[in-house]
């Protein structure tokens, strides 16, 4: 949801000799200084690795749109006071400007004119973990176990991922069984010893400062037991929604 666009007005000294501009018409940054900047994020929250569109409008002190002005995007982590300058763009003929921004964590956003001559109010965008794919199966190869394979965005590399389970015939009470980390390419693999099922299993991506965690889809898994007529191998699991 696009956040409400808010305006911060400041006074500016009139430009001596500037041409008269009809109300609402576009003006250039050379002929009128901007008196206000607005800002909004197209997404209140994005999955890690995804982008949001940051947009706003530059206006002069008299309310005219400022065309061709250099606009800077500044950000800081939520809870921090340390701002960073990340991008520049220019306002178009109608005074509008946009940035495509990919936050690494929940961040506060602000648009500025060079030298902080004018600064906008702030907007905020949150970040959460997420799954690209997930698969689970029950196996007996020397001993019974459950194997889980999945993929998260590569930006989640290094994130702690845990395996959770519960026995299908009992009250839902998730227990943690295995812990690993997301690899550099976003993949992860978890396995743990388990007796004959059926079981419900899922993976959980643990959150980090300013990044929300994510719970993966639930899969049903049957763990086989090897016998003379049932050789070692694996039984594919299936999504619990099937």
pLDDT in tens, 95-151: 999 999 999 999 999 999 998 889 999 999 999 999 999 999 999 988 899 999 999
Is residue 216 very low, low, confident or very high in pLDDT (cuts 50, 70, 90)?
A: very high
Q: Confirm whether 197 is domain-assigned.
A: yes
Domain count, the chain: 2
Is 144 in the same domain as 107? no
Task: Indicate if 122 and 138 belong to the same structural domain.
Answer: no
Q: How far apart, in whole angstroms, are the C-alpha atoms of residue 187 and residue 219?
A: 18
Q: What is the 3-state secondary structure (H, E, C) of 45-66?
A: EEECCCCEEEEEEEEECCCCEE
* CATH value at residue 202: 2.60.40
Q: What is the pLDDT of residue 13?
A: 30
> What average pLDDT does the segment 8-13 reach?
32
What is the length of the chain?
242
The owner of tokens 């015939």 is: 169
> Looking at 78, 103, 128, which one is the last position of a domain?
128
* Number of neighbours of residue 175 by Cβ within 10 angstroms: 9
What's the pLDDT score for residue 115?
A: 87
Q: Can you give the residue range of the structural domain that contains 86?
A: 6-128
Cα gap 113→10, rounded to integer Å: 13
Q: Which two tokens stand for residue 140?
A: 């007996």
**73 with 154, same domain?**
no
* Shared domain check, 66 and 17: yes
Instruction: Measure CA 146 to chain center.
Output: 30
Question: With 70 as the cut, is the pLDDT of residue 173 above it?
Answer: yes
Within 8 A by CB and 6+ apart from 234, the residues are 137, 138, 139, 140, 141, 147, 224
Q: How many helices (H) and strands (E) does the chain have?
A: 0, 21
Is residue 171 over pLDDT 80? Answer: no
224 pLDDT tier (thresholds 50, 70, 90): confident
Residue 88 lies in a domain: yes
Secondary structure letter of residue 94 according to DSSP = T
CATH no. for residue 10?
A: 2.60.40.10
pTM: 0.78
Point out the domain boundary residue: 107, 128, 149.
Answer: 128
170 — pLDDT class (breaks 50, 70, 90): low
Could you check whether the bond before residue 198 is cis, i.e. omega within 30 degrees of 0?
yes
Q: Is the pLDDT of residue 221 over 80?
A: yes
Let me know if residue 223 belongs to a domain.
Answer: yes
pLDDT at residue 133 in the model: 97
Same domain, 18 and 122: yes
Distance between CA atoms of residues 218 and 204, nearest Å: 10
The token pair that represents 214 in the structure block: 């994510």
What pLDDT, on a 0 to 100 scale, did the predictor assign at position 26? 39
Percent of the chain at pLDDT above 70?
Answer: 82
Query: 141-155, pLDDT tens digit by residue?
Result: 888 999 999 999 999
Q: What is the pLDDT of residues 60-88, one digit of tens each?
A: 888 899 999 999 999 999 999 999 999 99
Question: Which DSSP state fits 2?
Answer: P
19 and 59 housed in the same domain: yes
Instruction: Select from 109, 128, 147 the last residue of a domain.
Output: 128
């Amino acid at each position: 949801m696009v956040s409400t666009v808010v305006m911060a007005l400041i006074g500016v000294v009139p430009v001596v000799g500037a041409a008269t501009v009809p109300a609402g018409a576009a003006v250039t940054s050379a002929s009128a200084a901007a008196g206000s900047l607005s800002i909004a994020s197209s997404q209140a929250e994005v999955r890690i690795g995804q982008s949001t569109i940051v947009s706003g409008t530059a206006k002069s002190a008299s309310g005219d749109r400022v065309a061709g002005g250099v606009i800077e995007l500044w950000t800081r982590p939520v809870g921090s006071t340390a701002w960073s300058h990340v991008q520049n763009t220019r306002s178009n003929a109608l005074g509008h400007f946009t940035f495509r921004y990919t936050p690494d964590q929940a961040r506060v956003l602000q648009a500025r004119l060079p030298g902080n001559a004018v600064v906008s109010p702030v907007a905020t965008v949150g970040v959460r973990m997420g799954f690209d794919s997930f698969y689970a199966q029950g196996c007996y190869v020397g001993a019974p176990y459950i194997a889980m394979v999945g993929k998260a965005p590569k930006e989640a590399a290094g994130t702690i991922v845990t395996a959770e389970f519960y026995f299908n015939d009992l009250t839902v009470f998730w227990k943690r069984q295995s812990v690993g980390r997301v690899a550099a390419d976003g993949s992860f693999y978890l396995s743990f010893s388990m007796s004959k099922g059926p079981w419900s299993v899922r993976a959980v991506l643990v959150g980090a400062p300013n990044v929300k965690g994510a719970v993966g889809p639930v899969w049903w898994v049957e763990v086989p037991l090897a016998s003379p007529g049932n050789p070692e191998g694996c039984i594919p699991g299936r999504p619990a929604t099937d």
